[in-house]
Chains A and B, each alone.
Chain A
Amino acid sequence: MAKGFDVRRLPGFASVALLTIALLYVPIVILVVFSFNDSISQSQWAGFSMRWYETALNNATVRDVSIRSLWLAAVSAGFATVLATLAALGTTRVGRFPGQTMIYALINQPLMVPEIVTGIALLIVVAFVKVQTGYTGMGYMVLAHTAFCIPFAYLPIRARLETLDPNLEIAAADLYAGPVRAFWHITLPLLVPGIMAGFMLGFVTSLDTVVITEFVKSAGQETLPTYMLGQIRRSTTPEMNAVATLFLLLSLVFVTAFFLITRKRG
């Protein structure tokens, strides 16, 4: 057989690929390298040191906002995963119904609509509710993050559902399992990897949402990303590099977990 078409042999493939990879990773590598710098400089290397990690970990504000971010991400991703699981079941385990595509699009709205639009829309509604009720707690943040995380949780769950062998559920029904029993004993256990993956993606998404948080947060509801954004007006020190590196590490752990869970599927 003659050599088929291979994108890797197109002229310029290597240079474009290299440039893209460089753009993606060089800035992050520089950020990480300078988090270990033994001076305040972001451009001149003065030797290896962990002092900025020490500063960051001893910074009470960094601790507070990190804990708040993790809490918020866990709670929001939890709610989002439950809702996304129900949505995935509702859009795959039933016959075709009118408006199904529309519902699919509606669920994925946060993926299409620019974050700033959602942010401003939420600002207007949330501000109104705050004025009317006087409640300014974390509830708004949980609701906003949950809504935003649903499609990220939904997609892997739905993908998993679609690859499940429907014969297993039919077999369960043949053996006199009611729909509820079949769900708890057959569908749900098989769906767990998808649900876990959905939770991880939702968690990471909530963790790095900036724009929506900036518009919804009330007094004292700073999260790690909005805190980091707030640091940029004055000169940034490698302390922020250290915080960013730790943040990156955490995201990597979750993304790796996501990868491992979804890979098992095959």
Chain B
Amino acid sequence: MTRYFATGVAALLASTGLAQAQLNIYNWGNYTSPEVIERFTAETGITVTITDFDSNDTALARVRQGGHGFDIVVPTHHTIPTWIAEGLLQPLDPAIVTDRANIAPQWLDVAFDPGREFTVPWQWGTTGVIVNTSVYSGDINTADVIFNPPPELQGRINVIPEMSDVMAIAVYHAGGEDLCTNDMDVLRRVRDTLMNARQHWLALDYGTIEAFGAGDFSAGLYWNGASMRARALNADLAFGYPATGYPLWMDNAAVLADAQNPENAMRFINFILQPENAAGLSNFARYANGITGSEAFMDPDMATAPEIVIPEALIAAGRFSTACPQEITDLHTQIWTELLQ
């Protein structure tokens, strides 16, 4: 009996000993560079376990219930205010997270987490326009290549069927400041623009990287990462940032309020603030990371890629979308439904 007890205690001690050197990350699948994790373990002796989620909603639902056992979560920007408001995240510990200054200035004071009290950037991307420059040689930093296409692009356009992206670019193009604007004049212009543009579009499809590469489409509304992969197939393809405004998204790492290993989590947060490690995340996931100086460690093709390095003059035109109030979403859905008919 005593022996069993002793074994039990030993096992318990061993498990708490282990617990001190563990870290559980809850992240999107196929999104965490194994190389960066290996480096972290080598440097700190902390064993990292990664578990996948498939949507922001699943992650939020799991964590709300408690008992999840995760330390770090990586949600998308538009859900961060919910995570913070519900008290699911803990403020970053300035004693351990000492390098917040490494965050590039434009990502430092963001609306979804003012002052970066809870989160640090993981990866971010944009939605813009892709244009085959051998077909059209004009300015590509405008949504007009899609909404008022020149004759050479008419009938050769593909638009991703993603309502929030299309509506955001259309609203900004129509002079709306905010995706969720309730200005009916703006929304009317949005509808007219889209309905008029529709006749020039060949398709509304996902997964068109090869079609762009093969020249089946000459212009489109597209994500930066996919656009970069299309350019790898066809060097004539270029990615443009509409000067009237374009949507940004950013996934952010945060430490959970009920983390089992908060200290290890804070150490990991500071670890990914180092340019070399942020670059490692990018080299794996193929998106930008928002850490100053990481370019030096990124794969050469990414560090200078026009799909990732936004021209200085167009940085300010990028905007984070927010979740709109229901009545605005209903209006967007109506326009969208009409567009798809």
Q: Chain A interface (Cβ within 8 Å of chain B)?
A: 41-44, 120, 123-124, 126-131, 136, 214-215, 217-222, 226-227, 229-235
Contact = CB atoms under 8 A, between A and B. Distances in A.
Nearest to A220: B49
B51 A222 contact: yes
Given A130-B67, A218-B68, A235 B226 contact: yes
B65 interface: yes
B41 to A, nearest CB: 14
B51 A41 contact: no
A230 B29 contact: yes
B69 A230 contact: no
Given A229-B29, A230-B28, A214 B69 contact: no
A91 B286 CA distance: 58
Interface of B: 24, 26, 28-31, 49-54, 58, 61-62, 65-70, 207, 209-210, 226, 229, 285-286
Contacts of B68: 127, 130, 218-219
Contacts of B209: 235
Contact of A230 (B54, B210, B286): B54
A41 B53 CA distance: 25
Given A215-B62, A219-B49, A130 B69 contact: yes
Contact of A217 (B50, B51, B207, B226): B51
Contacts of A126: 67
Main secondary structure of the interface of B (DSSP, over half): mixed
A49 B19 CA distance: 44
Contact of A227 (B24, B52, B65, B70): B52
Contacts of A214: 53-54, 58
Interface centre among A42, A129, A218 (most CB of B within 10 A): A218
B67 A233 contact: no
B66 A131 contact: yes
Nearest to B25: A219
B30 A233 contact: yes
A219 B53 CA distance: 11
Contacts of B65: 123-124, 127-128
14 contacts: A43-B210, A123-B62, A128-B65, A128-B66, A129-B67, A218-B68, A219-B51, A220-B50, A222-B51, A229-B54, A230-B30, A232-B29, A233-B31, A233-B54
Nearest to B28: A233
Nearest to B54: A229
B54 to A, nearest CB: 5
Contacts of B70: 219
Contacts of A219: 24, 26, 49, 51, 68-70
A127 B30 contact: no
A119 B66 CA distance: 15
5 tightest A-B contacts by CB?
Answer: A230-B29, A130-B67, A230-B52, A127-B65, A219-B24
